[in-house]
Structure 1
Amino acid sequence: MSYKSIAVNLAIDAPPAAMVSLGVELAENFGAHLIGLAAADVPPLVATGDGMVYEGEIMQIQ
């Protein structure tokens, strides 16, 4: 059985170089495609008298 796609987790809070390097090496060795995946939560928008702001900004202001 051979793998044609390899996905690497590109964490938004860590440097990606080591993970990408390993992913490239594996993809080359197996003749596979490399897919990078990164995900993060997006804070919800809150309506205020000044317009729409992110919830975190409200907390900082208070």
Structure 2
Amino acid sequence: MNTTPYNVPEAFDAGADSYDELVGANPGYHEHLRLSARRMELPGGGRGLRLLDIGCGTGAQA
């Protein structure tokens, strides 16, 4: 696969089907995301805030 800037969408499309499987293979992935969110110290843990999630896979990182 060519990785020129013109082929970036193609590269993401190629990995989309295996994304959840690869992320699921990392047992600490979601815990690491929760830890990162706690470190941001959002008021009320972020409850009531809005977030626009565009093209972020399953949204786990959002």
TM over 0.5: no
More strand by share: 1
Q: TM-score, normalised by structure 2?
A: 0.29
Bigger Rg, which one: 1
More helix by share: 2
